[in-house]
Structure 1
Amino acid sequence: MDTKRLVILGGGYAGIEAAKTLYKKYKKNDKVEITLIDKNTYHTLMTELHEVAGSRVEPDSVMVSYQRIFSGTNINLVTDVITGIDFETRKLKSDKAEYDYDYLVLGTGGAPEFFDIEGVQENSFSLWSLEDAMRIREHFEERFRLAANEPDESLKAQMLTFVVAGAGFTGIELIGEFIERRDVLCAKYHIPVKDVRMVVVEALDSVLPIIEEPLRKKAVKYLKKKGAEIILNARITGAAEGKILLADGSEIKTDTFIWTCGIHGSEFTSKINLTKGHTARGECSIASAEGIHGMCGCRFDEDERYVVGKRGRILVNEYMQTDDYENVYAVGDNLWFVEKEKVLPQIVETALQTGETAAENIIAEIEGNDKKAFESNYHGFMVSIGGKYAVSNAGGMKTSGFMAMAMKHLVNLHYLFGVAGINAIWGYLKHEFFDMKDRRTFIGGHLSWKIQGWWAVPLRVWLGLMWVFEGINKIGEGWFNFSAGSKSGWMFSSGVLQKGVKPAADAYSAASGAGETAVEAAGHADMTAVFDSAMPNPQHGSDAVSAASDYAAGAAEAVVEAAADTVSAASDSAAVAVEAAADAVSAASDYAADAAGAAADTAGQVFGKIWDLGNNIIPYESGFVTWFRETFMDGIAAYIHYPVFQVMIVLVEIGIGLALMGGCFTFIAAGVSIIMCLVFTFSGMFAWDQAWFVFAAFLLLGGAGRSLGLDHWIMPAIKRWWNGTKLARRTHWFVGEPKTRNK
């Protein structure tokens, strides 16, 4: 078939899902080209923008680069701003290029809806992009800084009044972040907490209308406990510089007014010739001293729903195809689809599911199969109120507080794993827990407190020295003297022979045979000498032998008698000395025993014997040790030739020690150290007073070699090399960002 060009415009939740679904199908098909076009080089985690706005996390925590997401794939990544689309010629146009397509997925997202309320867009902040979050973040702290030096109490009160319009997910999550940030900034700028006013204004009669009443009540209770004001049934009728106007005629003076009351079509949808399912009522963007707020668009009446000029949501059918072109699909926040008399909500699950449906139907078109109609499947909702509290209804399980917050983190981790694998998960854990400031997590600061790396240097060197000594001691014990047999047999079950070790019966037989041969040879040599001296004259030889025998007998008798006298004298002297020594030792022993007994009794009465650190952690005779020996040592290690096995253990121990002492590959050395200790422990030969090896190694896993160690230079070089490998790209096991792909 001819090459099919599949283009996804927009790298939001829906666009990413569509691209991944298409790639999974066509990753080995060179007749299909997949291109993702976005104005940014990164995917923004829109559901976490409130954390950036409230300074809980850094801006890069919500940025997942497309290089990370699509590393190891052949998806074309294009950074460009598309200004228009010619649907007849199938071209996307920007100021610098044109892009052809056969199938197009529109995932350009939505934008805030201001409902044409006078002054709102000009005088409010919105939270719909990373740039919006950064503006709010900087403005929020600036109010505290200015208020700390403001002598006019009315102006100071206005600076310290923060109003969030809208009590939906975004509004409640943002006010929760503000409350936590308030406490930090009040301490920093010495402002009483009571002087800061946090206000939520909602036109409806409840907060979070999409979740159940019990959870709403818990959310309200928590917010009020933290000092937030919640004003319900309060429709905003206008805004001006420094104030907002309510329907009852009252006003709230504030320098910080954040609008979170609705989402609609984006500026881009007003520029393309597609039928809208519903149009927006907002004005075009307003430029102010704070920058561009919200979206661009034009004002239109509700009955004007057609094509160019209207900022609205694009009408699609059940296959996510637009009403005007079958090869153009719309996904995510910018579509309009009514399911069971309800418009699809603009939430992440809608984006993911519509993105997948559109991609599967494009595949069906290409393959000539039947298309699949969209069917939503929502699993629940989770709303965090700061970093320590949340309410959740996930899968029918309604929770609040700790459990709800944990559930929210798990859902985020699940999504990130699907997007960028373990790399994204590690980044999330760092931002949300390990690098968190001001203890703003539901587990406090227990995972974020850090020690300086140089504090661990003495421990690292000492642990390394101990491993070197362990290896050297084994050499001294004969582990390299293979003629003496195996020195590592204690690690195996009784009766199990390592490879290369001869059975005991064979060794005994060989030794016995050698001994008998030697005795026989010696006896034969002696007798031959005697007979040789006698052979010239047999008679004379007989006389000589007789004379020699008599002489030898006499000499032997004299020697024996003299020796007996000497031994007797020595025995008498020794007996006297031994008796005296025995008396002295007995007296000393009695005294020492009495003293030791008294001390032991005293210590026993005061302390008692708590723990014998010399005992093995797991007894050698225990069932677990037996199972471990039989399963791993007898079944695997016994087949390694014992000289090789012993050399390997000694070299590993010395290698661990040298690596730790030099701070070279410290993570690996510490990890192997832990494994070695566990093997010895499970073999029943590791005592409690050696357990510090394990705990010290755990501490060193945290990059201890980068401080006054070779890892300071080695690790960055390895990181650069590894991030450029194909394996790292395919598995997402790169560290930080992968190397930029050159195409």
Structure 2
Amino acid sequence: MPTKIVIIGGSYAGVKAGKTLHKKFKDNDDVQITLIDKNPYHTLMTELHEVAGHRTEPDSIKIDLFKIFAGRKVDVVIDEIRDIDFEKQVLRSDGNEYSYDYLIIAAGNEANFFGTKGAEEHAFTLWSYEDAIRIRQHVEEMFFKASYENDYEKRKKFLTFAVCGGGFTGVEMAGELGEAKKHLSEKYGIDKSEVTIYNIEALDRILNMLESDDQVRTVEDKYYRRLGIELLKNSMIVEVTEDSVVLERGEVIDTYTLIWTAGIKNCKFSSGLGLDTDKFGRIRVNEYMQTMNYMNVYAAGDNAQYEDEDGRMPQIVEAAEQSGHTAAVNIAADIEKSEKHVHRQNYHGFMVSVGSRKAVADTGFKTSGWFAMLIKHMVNFYYGFLVGGLRQFWNYIRHEFFHIKHKRSFVGGHFSKASPNFWLVPFRLWLGFMWLVEGVKKVDEGWLREPKMFSSTALNRIIQGAGNAADSTAGATQAAETVTEVAADAVSSATGAADGVVETVSNLPGFAQWVVNHSPQGWGQPIMGDVPGFMQWIIDKIVAPYAVPFQTMMVVAEIIIGLCLIAGLFTFLCSAISVVMTVGITLTGMSDATIIWYFFGGIALVAGSGSTFGLDYYLMPILKRRWSKIGIVRKSYLYFD
């Protein structure tokens, strides 16, 4: 019987544990790894506010668990565990049982209402994908209702939004609402000055995980003011009703929208298992992430309560990942009878965004504004790549930059501006025609039969060297004469080739003939002066000895690129190759400035204009489906959704 390791939860800790265990046991058939979650996706908890606040689309915060573990030694099971029998080592759902030898509990947390009257019944929480969707829909519904409400008091209540909690989640949620009110007001014909947004904090300071008071003041005095967010500190909420929020000092805020981000506690499932827990229901663990009750049961992430000389383990992504890793390596150590790993807390900083363009970050050095937002994106890039490789990296770029709406990116809407591909079809056909003409011309010039590739720099060096040698010895004089003859032959050959070109293209249609013959004023000179040293070395040592084969490949490539662009086949690849070839030809010194437009033309078409009136429209969907089913491709995430 194989050793069975079960992970409960596709959280940050659960995913990290699964990936670590795969690396440890990918070649060991005696170990079976299973990850169980009630949802088929891993939720990017740190990005929930973006969906709730209408910045990004819902799919941006989900990563398919089956795709994360594709081709890996982790079986993903979609089920909801209801009970655990620790003595029999069995997990139970409504209809299934799962046995285990080692167990990692990483089921996540839930909102903590601290006994506030009415909060659990009437407040919105932001702790899951479903929560983000619910808030997103509710906020827009409030704008919609306000758009046809004539009663001032009712309208004001619809357009008042309150966020309880001045931690990272609360500040980020308030910031998103501050930005969202602009486009939602425009959409529903509402004056945005009618919209009121509160961030309510019971203490006298927000963002307590940040050391710098200056950074906190930047958020309070600069970013909040710019977005029109009213900050209420020292304002504990004592009661929440369907249409109001009551503060401890007696003030009543009339609103249908209170988003509760004031704190979290262990989820009911984990805290109700009968294990040793703290006052928030978090499972107490030792330095190996083992529970105090059972040495083969581990807890990680927000489910675990751990404290060492560096303090209490915080409820942040980096802590979740590190604890998931610790639990996994110690299970492996137990199986392999090796020394266990003592958990070490090592965090690289904290970042909090306020809307899409501003943030504050403490990552060893303190930053704010646009640069802090860039750091936040870079961290997300890194995490996405580790979890989902190139696929998730690209998905993040699409959601955060290319498909962003209402200019809500830290670079504005510049990357998200798009136009239909059919406008590029004429350009694609013309660039393809020009590459085809280039290739056919070279065939007629004899590029498949004799060497034609040389640089003016190389020829000048030969002639100059021969001239100097002629002054010193008679033998060198003979060499100079020989070189001169070679140069003359080259010039003669080039002249003959030029005559052939003229004859070849003399019967083209009028406009095409003008394109081939016409040279704008000042053009015709080599675009580069001296050929770069590395390129000259390549020409002399690699290309020259095999000139005809290299020329043949070049000619064939030009013809293929031309035909493919005309047909709209593999347009992305051909456009990219077009750019690379243009750079290569330019570096050899064999082209004048007329080649520049091939370079920029390739860039313009690289986005895939063949998907309109081209073969790519029919072929690429088929190839993508087949490509993404290849084992090594799925395992390496070398595909796009």
What's the counterpart of residue 457 of structure 1?
A: 425
Q: Of the candidates 335, 340, 357, which is equivalent to residue 388 of structure 1?
A: 357
Counterpart of 2:241, as a letter, is A
Counterpart of 1:628, as a letter, is M
**Structure 1 position 490, deviation (Å):** 4.8
Counterpart of 2:214, as a letter, is P
For the residue of structure 1 that corresponds to 2:424, the secondary structure is helix
Distance 1:341 1:689 in 2: 65
Distance 1:11 1:668 in 2: 37
For the residue of structure 1 that corresponds to 2:414, the secondary structure is coil
Q: 1:682 to 1:385 in 2, by over 3 A?
A: same
Q: Pairwise mapping of residues 168-187 of structure 1 onto structure 2 (< 5 A)? A: 168-187=167-186
**Structure 1 position 478, deviation (Å):** 2.4
**Structure 1 position 398, deviation (Å):** 0.5
Distance 1:234 1:703 in 2: 55
For the residue of structure 1 that corresponds to 2:366, the secondary structure is strand
What's the counterpart of residue 635 of structure 1?
A: 541
What's the counterpart of residue 217 of structure 1?
A: 217
Answer yes or no: is the 8 Å Cα contact 1:491–1:629 preserved in 2: no
Q: Of the candidates 411, 431, 443, which is equivalent to residue 411 of structure 2?
A: 443
Counterpart of 1:441, as a letter, is S
What's the counterpart of residue 699 of structure 1?
A: 604
What's the counterpart of residue 234 of structure 1?
A: 235
**Structure 1 position 729, deviation (Å):** 1.8
What's the counterpart of residue 405 of structure 1?
A: 373
What's the counterpart of residue 486 of structure 1?
A: 451
Deviations 1:365-415 (A, max 9, x none): 111122122121111100001111101101x21011111000000001111
What's the counterpart of residue 612 of structure 1?
A: 522
Answer yes or no: is the 8 Å Cα contact 1:53–1:133 preserved in 2: yes
Q: Pairwise mapping of residues 328-339 of structure 1 onto structure 2 (< 5 A)? A: 328-339=297-308
Answer yes or no: is the 8 Å Cα contact 1:204–1:234 preserved in 2: yes
Distance 1:30 1:612 in 2: 71
1:318 maps to 2:287: yes
Distance 1:488 1:154 in 2: 81
Distance 2:142 2:605 in 1: 43
Answer yes or no: is the 8 Å Cα contact 2:571–2:605 preserved in 1: yes
For the residue of structure 2 that corresponds to 1:49, the secondary structure is helix
For the residue of structure 2 that corresponds to 1:686, the secondary structure is coil
- Of residues 644-653 and 427-436 in structure 1, the stretch that sits farther from structure 2 once superposed is 644-653
Distance 1:191 1:709 in 2: 45
**Structure 1 position 239, deviation (Å):** 1.1
**Structure 1 position 648, deviation (Å):** 2.2
For the residue of structure 1 that corresponds to 2:82, the secondary structure is strand
Answer yes or no: is the 8 Å Cα contact 2:110–2:266 preserved in 1: yes
Answer yes or no: is the 8 Å Cα contact 2:531–2:588 preserved in 1: no
Q: Pairwise mapping of residues 297-312 of structure 1 onto structure 2 (< 5 A)? A: 312=281
For the residue of structure 1 that corresponds to 2:71, the secondary structure is coil
Counterpart of 2:41, as a letter, is Y
What's the counterpart of residue 580 of structure 2?
A: 675
Distance 1:656 1:53 in 2: 46
**Structure 1 position 623, deviation (Å):** 5.2
Distance 2:613 2:431 in 1: 15
**Structure 1 position 435, deviation (Å):** 0.8
Identity %: 43
Deviations 1:497-550 (A, max 9, x none): xxxxxxx979x99xxxxxxxxxxxxxxxxxxxxxxxxxxxxxxxxxxxxxxxxx
**Structure 1 position 489, deviation (Å):** 4.3
Distance 2:439 2:310 in 1: 76
What's the counterpart of residue 266 of structure 1?
A: 267
What's the counterpart of residue 616 of structure 2?
A: 711
Distance 1:277 1:234 in 2: 27
Q: Pairwise mapping of residues 250-261 of structure 1 onto structure 2 (< 5 A)? A: 250-261=251-262
1:354 maps to 2:343: no
Answer yes or no: is the 8 Å Cα contact 2:48–2:61 preserved in 1: yes
**Structure 1 position 72, deviation (Å):** 2.1
Answer yes or no: is the 8 Å Cα contact 1:492–1:638 preserved in 2: no
Deviations 1:467-501 (A, max 9, x none): 11111111222234x3xx423345994499xxxxx
What's the counterpart of residue 8 of structure 1?
A: 7
Q: 1:237 to 1:152 in 2, by over 3 A?
A: same
Distance 2:34 2:615 in 1: 43
What's the counterpart of residue 398 of structure 2?
A: 430
1:684 maps to 2:603: no
Deviations 1:440-472 (A, max 9, x none): 011111111112100101110000000111111
Distance 2:444 2:521 in 1: 31
Counterpart of 2:248, as a letter, is A
Answer yes or no: is the 8 Å Cα contact 1:278–1:336 preserved in 2: no
Counterpart of 2:452, as a letter, is K
For the pair shown, the structure with the greater C-alpha radius of gyration is: 1
Distance 1:75 1:492 in 2: 60
Distance 2:191 2:382 in 1: 40
Moved over 6 A (4+): none
Q: Pairwise mapping of residues 359-378 of structure 1 onto structure 2 (< 5 A)? A: 359-378=328-347
Deviations 1:300-323 (A, max 9, x none): xxxxxxxxxxxx111111111101
For the residue of structure 2 that corresponds to 1:164, the secondary structure is strand
Q: How many residues align?
A: 588
For the residue of structure 1 that corresponds to 2:253, the secondary structure is strand
Distance 1:340 1:75 in 2: 34
Answer yes or no: is the 8 Å Cα contact 1:491–1:683 preserved in 2: no
Pairwise CA RMSD: 2.1
Distance 1:377 1:486 in 2: 62
Answer yes or no: is the 8 Å Cα contact 1:215–1:391 preserved in 2: yes
Distance 1:241 1:649 in 2: 73
Distance 2:128 2:425 in 1: 44
For the residue of structure 2 that corresponds to 1:635, the secondary structure is helix
What's the counterpart of residue 420 of structure 1?
A: 388
Distance 1:93 1:633 in 2: 70
Distance 1:688 1:154 in 2: 69
Counterpart of 2:541, as a letter, is G
Distance 2:482 2:28 in 1: 67
Answer yes or no: is the 8 Å Cα contact 2:11–2:108 preserved in 1: yes
What's the counterpart of residue 544 of structure 1?
A: none
For the residue of structure 2 that corresponds to 1:105, the secondary structure is strand
- Of residues 68-77 and 55-64 in structure 1, the stretch that sits farther from structure 2 once superposed is 68-77
Query: Unaligned 5+ residue runs, structure 1?
Result: 280-311, 497-503, 510-609, 737-743
What's the counterpart of residue 286 of structure 1?
A: none
**Structure 1 position 615, deviation (Å):** 2.9
Distance 1:188 1:61 in 2: 23
Q: 1:491 to 1:722 in 2, by over 3 A?
A: farther
Deviations 1:413-457 (A, max 9, x none): 111111111111110011000111111011111111112100101
Counterpart of 1:698, as a letter, is I
Distance 2:403 2:136 in 1: 18
What's the counterpart of residue 157 of structure 2?
A: 158
Query: Unaligned 5+ residue runs, structure 2?
Result: 463-480, 487-519
Distance 1:661 1:468 in 2: 9
Distance 1:237 1:271 in 2: 27
**Structure 1 position 651, deviation (Å):** 1.5
Distance 1:66 1:678 in 2: 42
Answer yes or no: is the 8 Å Cα contact 1:388–1:401 preserved in 2: yes
Counterpart of 2:2, as a letter, is T
Counterpart of 2:371, as a letter, is M
